[in-house]
Structure 1
Amino acid sequence: MLYSPPIIYRETIIMIKKAGLTGLLLFGMFFGAGNLIFPPSLGALSGEQFWEAILGFVLSGVGIAVLALIIGMLNPKGYVDEISQKISPWFATLYLVILYLSIGPFSQFHVPLRLPMKWAFPLCYPKE
């Protein structure tokens, strides 16, 4: 007879996997190409207004994303229900799937976002 782990154990593993995938999704949302390219140039060009520049960067780069997550969590039925109240449910689902795929896995095709990386660091940190 094969060993079958208890149901509680299986549910815990599934919950850990879901938490890991959600964590990777959130990391991908917060850490985009702009968050890797912009800070070095921001620091180099801000001069004496460094704290104002970094405050604006953090509020716009992280604050807006956190605000979107909070708004999404406030609706217990989720984003699909919110969107499908105004349009067809199948179109809302299709739209969100395309949106998430374009932000996540298909964003690898957005090469122009990654091209400035080659030039950002040498310009911000010139050799002396």
Structure 2
Amino acid sequence: MLINEYWKKGNFNNADLILSYRCVIAVVFLLHCVMTNGQAYYTHRNYHLPVYLMTERMGMQNNIEGAFYERESKSVAEKHILTFYQNMLEGSDKGLKLSSMGQKTLSELHDLFIDDVLNEYVKPVTVH
């Protein structure tokens, strides 16, 4: 995996690595949704949630990273986040894809959000 070699050889701080993993995971998830659904949508309980890179990155930052930062010191949280994000991806002869853990994690996040919308805990935003 070329990107893995880049991450290993680069002189990055943890914040830069976390940002880059978050961006890569968002792209891989969007592509996974397109390959699964034919469009950039995540579907749960007959509700189709559009998948946008920015909202994926924000969702991961708020829900995944936020949970680690709430429980740990910054340096410990960053190490846990990096390990968590690394475990969400796996390489294949065709490139990066979500690991089963990555698929499960993002599915749970999206399912919970859709459930909140359907139960009217969160009001959907109309885009014009």
Instruction: Give the TM-score, by structure 1 length.
Output: 0.34
Q: Which has the larger helix fraction?
A: 1
Q: Which has the larger strand fraction?
A: 2
Answer with 1 or 2: which has the greater Rg.
1
Instruction: Give the TM-score, by structure 2 length.
Output: 0.34
Which protein, 1 or 2, shows the higher relative CO under an 8 Å CA cutoff with sep ≥ 6?
A: 1
